[in-house]
Structure 1
C-alpha cells in the first residue's frame, strides 16, 4: 500500500467520515489525485461510501469512511494494579469483551511475561487472523522514555527497549506510552479536547495523572515524562509517597487514599451505609464508595469532597502556569461524576487568581475508564503512516500458532 493511501486511512480513522475535499486538504494532495485513490481503495474494500453530506449550498460532497473490518487494533490499558485488554475495529468498536486481570506491577517480578501471555491468549481467543491486526497499543504507568522505549518505573529492562522486547515476543508492532498521556490522547482525538488548543486531562486513579494538550498538540515533554501531577509537592505532612518523597499530591489525593480514609472513618465509628471494604481489594472498595456517594451517603460524599478539594489545589497551580481553557476529569474516578465539581471548584476559587480561573471550564469525561483503551488504539494509528506499515510488512504473515505462550 502506498504511503499516501496509508495517510488516507489514518485520517479516516480519526475523522470517522470525511469528504474527498477534506481528505485532499489533510493529506496535501490535489482533489483529483485524492478521488482517484479513494476510488481504488473503495474497489479494494478498504473504504466505503456513506452517502452525500448535508447540503450547504452547491453540490453535496460524498462522504467516506474506513471499512470497519479493514484491520484490528489490540488495546491494553494498565495501571499499577489492574490490566484491561480489548480488540477494536476501525470504527472504534470492541470486537471482543474487555478482559480485566489483576496484575500488581510493583510486586509481581514476572509481570512482563504475564502481560505477554495475557495478550497472546486474548488474540487467540478472538479467532482473528493475526495478519489483520495492525498493531498493539499499551498504556502503562511510570516514567516512559518514548525515544528509547523504556519504562523506568516498571518492567525494568535495564537499557534494553521494552517496546522491542514486546515486539519480539508478540510478533506484532507494539507501541507504549504513559497511561495518562493516552487518556489525554483519547480526549484529544475523540472527546471533549477535540479542536481545543489548551486542555489539561486529569486521570483520577490510584495516582493522579495528567495529560496535556498545548497549542493544539499533545504535549509529552522532552522525553515523555511530562504530566507527573501526582508528585507536585503541596502538603507539609511527612506522609511518604510512592516516589520516595513526602508531601506529594498523591499522598492526599488519589483513589487509594479515598479507600484508606473510608476504612479509617469506619473504624472511628462514622455513620454510613457503606458495606465492609478492605484495602486488599481497592477496586471493589473504590467502586462501593462512589456507588454509595452517588446514592447520597453523607460520609462517602465527604470523602470524595476532601479528595476533590486536594485535587483542586493542584489544579490551581496548573491554571496559574498553563492557563488552560478546559480541564477534563477522566480515569476510573470519573465514575463519581459531578460530585467532583463543587470541591474542585471551591479549591480553585480559594487558590487561583479569579482573572485566570474564570476562563477555565471543568468537565467530566463522558468516556471515563475506557479512555485509556481508546487512547492506546489511537497510539497505534498515530504511527500508522510512519512505522506500523514497515513492521506489518515484516511481521504480518505470522500465523497465530507461532505464539509462544508461557505455561
Structure 2
C-alpha cells in the first residue's frame, strides 16, 4: 500500500496511524519550505534525529522524497538536504465556463505541467452535460500519460452557489441526493473538491498572479455573470454557508429585468456579460452598425466572445456598450471599496480582456461613487493569469487541502 493509499485507509490506528500523519506533516513542510535537513525536521516537529531519519527513509523508498546531497556549511560535517520529488504526485484542476473548460495539472512543487485552455464544452444543468464533463476530464488524464495513481486529487470549479466543505453544488448538477463531489469521485476515481469559480480564480491570482504582497484583495470575475473572491489577511473568505461573494446579486437597480437568480434589480441585470450581449443584440436589431453584421453570425447567435473580439477590432458599438457596462460595474465596485477598504481590486474574467475599454469607465465610476479617503488606498489591476487563474487556483486548493497546507 502506497503512502497516499494509507492516508485514505480509515482502519489504520495506533503507531502506524501516528507515523502516517508525521509523514504527511513532513510532506507539507517540504511543500512549504522547499527543502531541509534532518536537523531542521527534528527541530520543527520536536522529534529525535533517528525517528526523523526512519520516516524520511520511508518516504524516500516510496519515491516521494529525495536526498539532494550535501548542503553548504561554514564548518564541521556538512548535513544532507532533502526535498520532494516533484513528479511523485499531481493535482488536477478543472475550471468550467459557460462555453468551454480550462483544465490543467500541477506537480507537488506547484509547477503547472500541462494545461489546455478553452476546450469546447456547453454547460447545462442536466446529466448529459455532467457526463460530457467527466468524459473530457478522463480524456485529459489519458492524454497526459501520468499514471492514475499519481493523481492525488481533483479540484472542480463551477459558477454559482457551492458549499466546498460539504461538496454540494446548488446551481449546477444538483439532481442527485449525494454531494456532487461524491458523484465525481465515483465516476472518475479521484478525490474531488468543489469550489466556486470566482473564488478559485481569486486564489490562483493571489498565489501566482498580479498580487505582490497585498493581503486584503478582492477579485472580480467579469464574465456572463459576475462573481467575486475575497481574500482577507491572505485567506479566502467563505461566510457562514460558503456562499460569500455574490457580487452580481447586489440589488442596485430599480428595474423590471428578471435576473438568473429569479429576482429583479440585481447588478448582473445591467452590468454583466449577459447584459452586454442583450444590449448589443437590441442595438443591432434597431439598426446600429457593427463589424459583426458583415460576418455570417446571426444576431441571435452572437456570443459574448464575439462582442469582445469586435471591441478589440475597434468596433464602435462594442466599445460604447462595454464602457456603459463598465460605468455600472464601477458603481458596484465603489460599494465594495467603501465596505471592505481593500488594498487591491483585480478585474478578471472575459470582460477584463477588453483592457482600458472597461477599466477606464470602471475607474471613473469608482472615483465618482466611492469615498476618496478609502479608494485612494485601493489599487485597480487587471488579472495577470487570465484563463489560467481558475485552473491554477483549483490545483493549488486541492493540493493544499490534501496536504493540510494553509
Task: Output the CA distance in 2 between the equivalents of 1:271 and 1:31.
Answer: 74
For 2:155, the equivalent position in structure 1 comes to 137
TM-superposed deviation, 1:253: 1.4
TM-superposed deviation, 1:351: 0.9
For 1:380, the equivalent position in structure 2 comes to 398
Question: 5+ residue gaps in structure 1?
Answer: 54-60, 388-407
In structure 2, relative to structure 1, the CA distance for the partners of 1:35 and 1:80 (3 Å cut) is same
For 2:114, the equivalent position in structure 1 comes to 95
Equivalences for residues 57-72 of structure 1 within 5 A: 66-72=84-90
Task: Output the CA distance in 1 between the equivalents of 2:217 and 2:69.
Answer: 34
TM-superposed deviation, 1:210: 0.2
Given the alignment of the two structures, is residue 20 of structure 1 paired with residue 36 of structure 2, yes or no?
yes
In structure 2, relative to structure 1, the CA distance for the partners of 1:291 and 1:112 (3 Å cut) is closer
TM-superposed deviation, 1:267: 2.8
Given the alignment of the two structures, is residue 370 of structure 1 paired with residue 388 of structure 2, yes or no?
yes
TM-superposed deviation, 1:98: 4.2
Equivalences for residues 4-403 of structure 1 within 5 A: 4-10=22-28, 13=31, 18=34, 20=36, 28-29=44-45, 46=64, 66-90=84-108, 91-95=110-114, 97-98=116-117, 100-106=119-125, 108-157=126-175, 159-193=177-211, 195-274=213-292, 276=295, 277-278=297-298, 285-386=303-404
Tell me the matched-pair count.
Answer: 376
In structure 2, relative to structure 1, the CA distance for the partners of 1:119 and 1:353 (3 Å cut) is same
- Deviation per CA, 1:286-345, whole angstroms, max 9, x where unpaired? 333333323433322212211111111111111111111100111222322233221111
TM-superposed deviation, 1:227: 0.5
Task: Output the CA distance in 1 between the equivalents of 2:339 and 2:138.
Answer: 44
In structure 2, relative to structure 1, the CA distance for the partners of 1:295 and 1:218 (3 Å cut) is same
TM-superposed deviation, 1:48: 6.4
- SS of corresponding position for 1:296: coil
Give the root-mean-square deviation of aligned CA atoms: 3.5
Task: Output the CA distance in 1 between the equivalents of 2:199 and 2:83.
Answer: 27
In structure 2, relative to structure 1, the CA distance for the partners of 1:96 and 1:180 (3 Å cut) is closer
Task: Output the CA distance in 1 between the equivalents of 2:326 and 2:30.
Answer: 38
Does the Cα contact within 8 Å between 1:92 and 1:374 map onto a contact in 2? no
In structure 2, relative to structure 1, the CA distance for the partners of 1:3 and 1:257 (3 Å cut) is same
Task: Output the CA distance in 2 between the equivalents of 1:339 and 1:121.
Answer: 38
In structure 2, relative to structure 1, the CA distance for the partners of 1:44 and 1:262 (3 Å cut) is same
In structure 2, relative to structure 1, the CA distance for the partners of 1:280 and 1:88 (3 Å cut) is farther
Task: Output the CA distance in 2 between the equivalents of 1:213 and 1:182.
Answer: 11
For 2:74, the equivalent position in structure 1 comes to none
Task: Output the CA distance in 1 between the equivalents of 2:321 and 2:83.
Answer: 46
In structure 2, relative to structure 1, the CA distance for the partners of 1:223 and 1:28 (3 Å cut) is farther
- Deviation per CA, 1:192-227, whole angstroms, max 9, x where unpaired? 346422110001111010000012211011121000
Residue range with higher mean Cα deviation, 256-265 or 231-240:
256-265
Residue range with higher mean Cα deviation, 221-230 or 63-72:
63-72
